[in-house]
Structure 1
Amino acid sequence: MTLFTTGEVYKLTGLTERSIRYYSNLDLLKAKKNDNGQLVLLKSDLDKIVQILAAKIIGYKLKDLIDRQPSLGFIKNDMTQMIVDLENILFHLDLTDSEGNFMKNIKLLQNYNTRYLRKR
């Protein structure tokens, strides 16, 4: 069983020790302390970090993840939809030559903000 210290995880990923400790304090990770008092993570904790970071990208708040941790498959589906929505917005932003298109762009952007960014 391979254990990773927070320092090792930081060196390999750039994820700060403070963030790892915070996720652990929220019980999002099951990190334990080793004999030297260092916080150590299992491979399962690294998998969970992937889920946490991916969920944050699509707008989940950490406090939401405490009660409900969506599966990676669910997160990937949300990310795919997010990309589709962003591509649609990019397409329509090029069509701002009429008042109707401006209104449509505002509606698209407002819907995107409501769906994704307000979760933050």
Structure 2
Amino acid sequence: MTLLTTGEVYKITGLTERSIRYYSNLNLLKANKNDNGQLVLFKSDFEKIVQILAAKITGYKLKDLIDRQPSLSCIKNDMTQMITDLENILFHLDLTDSEENLMKNIKLLQNYNTRYLRKK
């Protein structure tokens, strides 16, 4: 198996060593040290990185992922729901012709904020 240093991972993905170290400290990633003391990851660890980053997008907090690591399938379902909700918001944002529609927009945006941005 190919080992990649955090510098190599950064060049490929843009994920910083600090992030890798943090994920590793939380036991979300199993970074190892090579003979030179550098943190290294297997290419197979990239799947876990995808899962972590996707979970963050859908509103999971990293510390919550320690106890409950949702499957990629579950995360994809969450993303699909987010897209549906955002499309609904985009549609309604054009409807600002009355005070009633403005209030509906505020409610939609507040619900989205509560559901995703303050989630879990």
| Displacement after TM superposition at 1:45 (Å) | 1.7
Could you list the runs of 5+ residues in structure 2 that have no partner in the other structure?
none
| Structure 1 position 116 matched with structure 2 position 116 | yes
Shift of 1:99: 1.4
TM-score by length of 2: 0.96
Runs of 4 or more, structure 1, over 4 Å off, are none
SS, match of residue 40 in structure 2:
strand
User: 2:22 aligns to what?
Assistant: 22
Quote the residue 1:76 is aligned against: 76
Shift of 1:44: 3.0
Q: CA deviation at 1:106?
A: 1.0
37-46 or 68-77: bigger deviation? 37-46
Measured on the aligned residues, the alpha-carbon RMSD in Å equals 1.1
Structure 1 counterpart of 2:55 = 55
Identical counterparts, % of pairs: 88
Count of paired positions: 120
State the TM-score, normalizing by the size of structure 1.
0.96
Query: C-alpha deviations, 1:66-94, integer Å up to 9, x for none?
Result: 11111111111101110110010010000
Deviations 1:26-45 (A, max 9, x none): 11001111111111111332
Q: Aligned equivalents of 2:40 and 2:46: distance in 1? A: 11
- The alignment partner of 1:119 has SS state of coil
Please state whether the residue corresponding to 2:118 is helix, strand or coil. helix
Structure 2: distance between partners of 1:119 and 1:33: 34
Q: What stretches of structure 1 of length at least 5 have no aligned partner? A: none
Letter in 2 for 1:104: K
